[in-house]
Structure 1
Amino acid sequence: MGNPQLKETTRSALRAAEEGDPERGVKLERALETDPYNGALIIQHAVARVDSGDRDPFAHLTDIIRRAPDWVDGHAALARLRWETGDRENFLFDLEQALGQQPKNPALWNLYIDLLAAVERFEEAADGARAAINAGFADPVLQLIEAMHAGSAGDHRRAMQLFAELPDQLTGRAVNEARQHMRMNQLDRASVLLDQAREENPEDLTAWALTELIWRSRKDPRHDWLFRNGGLISFAPVGLDDTELEDLTALLEKLHASQYQPVGQSVRNGTQTRGNLQRNRNPLLVHLFNRLQSAVDTWFATLPDPDPAHPLLKHRQSAIRITGGWSIRATAGGYHTSHLHPGGKISSACYISIPELNDKERAGHLQLGHPPKDIPMALEPVHMIKPRAGHLALFPSFLYHGTVPFSCSGQRMTVAFDAA
């Protein structure tokens, strides 16, 4: 049997890290003394050292990785932390070294490709998939990944050749090939493939998001059924007074103080908090998420009747809970690229503080249903929302969403979450 005190020290330190305990650094150091090879402790210790401004925050994490080059979670953490602290050229250095030592390790290849794609180095991601295939992994999924990233890089000929060689029934082929046809403005073929993708997996919100764009562009009457004339969108006060908003802004500024633009997220010229903000035990955040859950419950109860074929209304009688939260801070020039959260059913934006925005330019406005940049469709957003402090936007997760850049001084502080 293990030492129960050792396990409790480790659990307590990890809980402190998750909950944003101001003493988490000390607790993590203490836990590492008795549990020095616990991967979660090592990673959270590195995060805490970054947040405290340590000059060499990755020393221990790097040392362990170089002794255990097959530790995938460690590589993922190190690469992301290096990127977030500004090392954009060498953030993959140790992962590339590990691949040189273990070229037959599929988990390392998957991580390498995913990280390249997450920072929009799509051509390199496609080449990474091809390198993995050449290393001996003759897997059609890797060819699908190569095709996806080649298309994202704009190499449409390469992408289409790869898609043509894939098995027809390969999971994920239909929706990703549909997106490739949309990139090339071949909407007839894309529509057929999306019908197939939704039939294969009715829960695939990416397929529904792409379908929304095509149905709207063609004025297909099914779009009215899907969108419900905006009746699935809410923008309302969340029930916080001015003092509470000011206190939340001050707290969130501290949480953003040592943060950088994260890997694989939609924010540009801004920062995002790490981890799940909902698990932070600060009373201000506990109160905020209680208010947010209450707002979700109230709004969800007002939606139209259940519809078993509809991607959101099929869940109309289910209990919808917030599954994770984070904060975004944007300054002049800040915005979100058009993106999805396919893991949820409901997406959101709660405005804690906003700058003085130019209404004529719709600066800072939330855009729903605006095509992502790789799909050249001449569609305006299906709905736009002007930010207002203390208000919460709720909308189906099958809608692409982003924001209009703003150029004024000041900051836009939001808290967002997914619910499912």
Structure 2
Amino acid sequence: MNPAALVEQAKGLANAGRLDDALTLLTPLAGRQDAPWQALSVQADLLKRAGRLEDSAATSRRLVAVRPQSVPARHNLASTLGDLGRAVDAETVCRETIAIGGDAPETWLVLARALQSQSRFAAAEEAYRQALSRRPGYVEVLRDLTQLIWMRDADIAAASAPLDAAIAAAPGDSGLRRIKARLLEYAGDADDAYRTLTTGSLDGPGELAAAQVCLTLDPRRALDHANRAATLAGQGVPAVMVTQAECLLALGRAEEALGPITVLRAREPLNQHVLAHQATAWRMLGDSRYERLYDYDAFVRPYRLETPPGWATLDAYLVDLAAALNGLHTLNTHPVGQSLRGGSQTTASLAQSDDPAIRAFFIAIDAPIRAYMTALGQGDDPLRARNTGRYRIKGSWSVRLRPHGFHADHIHSDGWLSSACHIELPAAVRGQGREGWLRFGASPGLLQLEAQHHVQPQPGTLVLFPSYMWHGTQPFGGEASRLTLAFDVVPD
């Protein structure tokens, strides 16, 4: 088969959902030293779609070397570097792209995100505005820009201003109202968020957003919105089905909720949200399968970190790690769409940090992760069935909670194992009221399902647990903050 036909066949396989087959077909051609640029371009895209970002970036670099004046090649490389958390490299390639004529708003967006990851917030804001000047109403840019302003200034009026201008220019755009509603919701005003959504007509995504924001206000009305979203979107849309299940659980109709949950479990067996809601339904019904899925004794495990090389004691190491992390907490309030309330979260991937203390952390956690996998063993349950004995880190961040801050109960949709490593803790965690403690099993929006398991934080202790397990923290008082470093693990 000639190279052009082979590339087209690989694209066809990928479009048919046969990504592995497409890569198997194309890899020998793309691996040749004289590979045609079309093969390299498609291979980089397929590898990215398969989640193999390092391989995709390497292929994109080869493509740039073959076609140095190609704007799409450089842009795609910058985008992948950004996804890998290599903010400095992503910025460099973005500027190279712009220098050769790549002035697309998408490139300015990648540049803005790279600058934000470096805590260069004023420059990031300017890059976001450059993207907007080239495409007013660019939804992804407006979402990221308004969140940056919110996290930096904790000023809902200032954060809303770019959105309000865009909504005034396009009052019928429900996507813009969805962004503003989500911002208002995470700023603590669910009622105003709902009013913002429902000031105009709602399409399918709008009905879904209304259901989600209304869930804690009026679950019966939320279910009506979710059902309308299903009608508009067509049956079988996973996000809609999950929300329908959430509404039914909030209404105490656990048996009905198992309908969409069971369908989704068969279709998406690794979906952590579906697993969490299945566990909630089983708990509400008194089903013994709940205890096997939420086996706290077996699945929630604390590990004391070993002192990394270069430090005399663990306490000395934690002092340096805390200083490095605190230096990254330059934002004033929590992001949109995350679990923390009353604190800040770092924006860059910590696994890519050059700081010696932060780099040492990712060496120190290797032994606990491997010990966890060994203790876990093999089995056919959703956690053990994925245990290959190999792993990679997917996402890493630090959270600094202020007094009275907390993590709302949540799960980690992109993980297999999740974590919390406690670095600096307020005195309140040593009291009898479980202030600042980790808690497990409390399902959000279901007050009758209280936490069943608690872990008292200790400085230098890493807690590992399944990503599908509901977890949060108790609020705490006093004057000191609570500093943690967290990451997700997926099988390799």
Say whether the fold is shared (TM-score over 0.5): yes
| Higher percent of residues as helix | 2
Aligned equivalent of 2:336: 263
Cα distance change of structure 1 residues 41 and 183 upon mapping to structure 2, 3 Å threshold: same
Cα distance change of structure 1 residues 204 and 74 upon mapping to structure 2, 3 Å threshold: same
Q: CA deviation at 1:81?
A: 1.0
- Determine if the alignment matches structure 1 residue 278 to structure 2 residue 351: yes
CA contact (8 A) 1:270 1:329 kept: yes
- Determine if the alignment matches structure 1 residue 299 to structure 2 residue 372: yes
Amino acid at match of 1:415: L
How far apart in 1 are the matches of 2:192 and 2:467?
Answer: 29
Which of 403, 416, 422 is equivalent to 1:332?
Answer: 403
3-state SS of paired residue (1:255): coil
Aligned equivalent of 2:235: 169
What is the RMSD computed on CA atoms of the aligned residues?
3.6
- Please list the CA deviations of residues 39-61 of structure 1 after superposition, one character each: whole Å capped at 9, or x if unmatched: 1224444665755xx6x973453
When the two structures are superposed, what TM-score results if normalisation uses the length of structure 1? 0.82
More deviation, 230-239/34-43: 34-43
CA contact (8 A) 1:366 1:404 kept: yes
Cα distance change of structure 1 residues 95 and 400 upon mapping to structure 2, 3 Å threshold: same
More deviation, 387-396/189-198: 189-198
How far apart in 2 are the matches of 1:234 and 1:247?
Answer: 25
How far apart in 2 are the matches of 1:110 and 1:257?
Answer: 27
How far apart in 2 are the matches of 1:383 and 1:101?
Answer: 50
How far apart in 2 are the matches of 1:73 and 1:193?
Answer: 30
* Residue correspondence of structure 1 range 71-86 to structure 2 within 5 A: 71-84=138-151, 85-86=153-154
3-state SS of paired residue (1:73): helix
How far apart in 2 are the matches of 1:18 and 1:189?
Answer: 42
Which of 424, 437, 458 is equivalent to 1:388?
Answer: 458
CA contact (8 A) 2:441 2:471 kept: yes
Q: CA deviation at 1:216?
A: 2.9
3-state SS of paired residue (2:159): coil
Cα distance change of structure 1 residues 148 and 334 upon mapping to structure 2, 3 Å threshold: closer
- Please list the CA deviations of residues 97-123 of structure 1 after superposition, one character each: whole Å capped at 9, or x if unmatched: 334435676865664555455545545
How far apart in 1 are the matches of 2:387 and 2:97?
Answer: 46
Amino acid at match of 1:144: L
Q: CA deviation at 1:411?
A: 2.5
CA contact (8 A) 1:267 1:334 kept: yes
How far apart in 1 are the matches of 2:472 and 2:373?
Answer: 22
Bigger relative CO (Cα 8 Å, ≥ 6 apart): 1
- Determine if the alignment matches structure 1 residue 101 to structure 2 residue 173: no
Cα distance change of structure 1 residues 29 and 86 upon mapping to structure 2, 3 Å threshold: farther
CA contact (8 A) 1:109 1:128 kept: yes
- Please list the CA deviations of residues 149-184 of structure 1 after superposition, one character each: whole Å capped at 9, or x if unmatched: 3324x1334323334443483323332222112222
Q: CA deviation at 1:335?
A: 1.6
Cα distance change of structure 1 residues 222 and 113 upon mapping to structure 2, 3 Å threshold: same
- Determine if the alignment matches structure 1 residue 143 to structure 2 residue 215: no
CA contact (8 A) 1:24 1:48 kept: no
CA contact (8 A) 2:184 2:193 kept: yes
* Residue correspondence of structure 1 range 143-222 to structure 2 within 5 A: 143-152=207-216, 154-165=217-228, 166-167=230-231, 169-172=235-238, 173-222=240-289
CA contact (8 A) 2:113 2:124 kept: no
- Determine if the alignment matches structure 1 residue 362 to structure 2 residue 434: yes
Amino acid at match of 1:255: L
3-state SS of paired residue (2:457): coil
More deviation, 106-115/318-327: 106-115
- Please list the CA deviations of residues 305-351 of structure 1 after superposition, one character each: whole Å capped at 9, or x if unmatched: 221xx221220226322111000112322221111111111111011
Cα distance change of structure 1 residues 214 and 83 upon mapping to structure 2, 3 Å threshold: same
More deviation, 123-132/409-418: 123-132
Q: CA deviation at 1:67?
A: 4.2
Cα distance change of structure 1 residues 29 and 144 upon mapping to structure 2, 3 Å threshold: closer
3-state SS of paired residue (1:321): strand
3-state SS of paired residue (1:265): coil
CA contact (8 A) 1:293 1:321 kept: no
More deviation, 87-96/247-256: 87-96
Q: CA deviation at 1:234?
A: 0.8
Cα distance change of structure 1 residues 99 and 2 upon mapping to structure 2, 3 Å threshold: farther
Cα distance change of structure 1 residues 279 and 161 upon mapping to structure 2, 3 Å threshold: same
CA contact (8 A) 2:175 2:206 kept: no
* Residue correspondence of structure 1 range 408-419 to structure 2 within 5 A: 408-419=478-489
- Deviant stretches of 4+, over 6 Å: 27-33, 104-107
Q: CA deviation at 1:405?
A: 1.3
3-state SS of paired residue (1:327): strand
Structure 1: gaps spanning 5 or more residues: none
More deviation, 393-402/112-121: 112-121
Percent same amino acid at aligned positions? 25
More deviation, 117-126/352-361: 117-126
CA contact (8 A) 2:156 2:184 kept: no
How far apart in 2 are the matches of 1:91 and 1:383?
Answer: 38
Amino acid at match of 2:162: D
How far apart in 2 are the matches of 1:87 and 1:223?
Answer: 42
How far apart in 2 are the matches of 1:178 and 1:29?
Answer: 42
How far apart in 1 are the matches of 2:477 and 2:264?
Answer: 40
Cα distance change of structure 1 residues 371 and 42 upon mapping to structure 2, 3 Å threshold: closer
Q: CA deviation at 1:286?
A: 1.5
How far apart in 1 are the matches of 2:342 and 2:370?
Answer: 33
